[in-house]
Homo-oligomer: A and B are copies of this chain.
Amino acid sequence: MKATYDLPCNIAQTLNIIGDRWTLLIVHEIFIGNNTFSEIKRGLNGISSNLLSDRLKYLEESGLVASSLYSDHPPRYAYNLTDSGKDLEDVFNSIILWGRQHLDKCYKKIIHDKCNHEVDITYYCSYCNENVDELSVVEVD
């Protein structure tokens, strides 16, 4: 049985899906357009075939990835993200931005296409129609 976190917390429950070693990086590879088994493997120096195979199956079970057969014989699959997989974009970006600020050796930054300047994360309240700072994390009903 897969070890999971048994905690009433969005973060723990989300990590039960994407928190295993390599998993988030695999989703990210697909996110940036590496769609076949060997493209993903090439992108992730050091991952073993069996682990990649297991993780892709688990991600598909969890609904973040969908695979489609693009050749019958031999079977060849293309892996794509579902909407929930694509919605990890903000998670990727928040991690990239943290790394931009705090990693000794930083590789990536996120820029606004139009002006090429770097962007920050903010929070937007669509009810008030404005960016807001004062937030609370609260229980749902």
Residues of A within 8 A of B (CB): 3, 5-15, 19, 21, 24-25, 28, 44-46, 84, 87-88, 90-103, 105-115, 117, 119-128, 131-132, 134-140
Residues of B with C-beta under 8 A to A46: 5-7
Contacts A14-B98, A46-B5, A108-B10; A128 near B121 (Cβ below 8 A): no
Complex contact B14–A107 (CB within 8 A): no
Complex contact B125–A115 (CB within 8 A): yes
Docked CA distance A111–B93 (Å): 21
Smallest CB separation, A115 vs chain B (Å) = 5
From B98, B107, B124, A87 is in contact (CB under 8 Å) with B98
Contacts A45-B7, A96-B11, A98-B90; A123 near B122 (Cβ below 8 A): yes
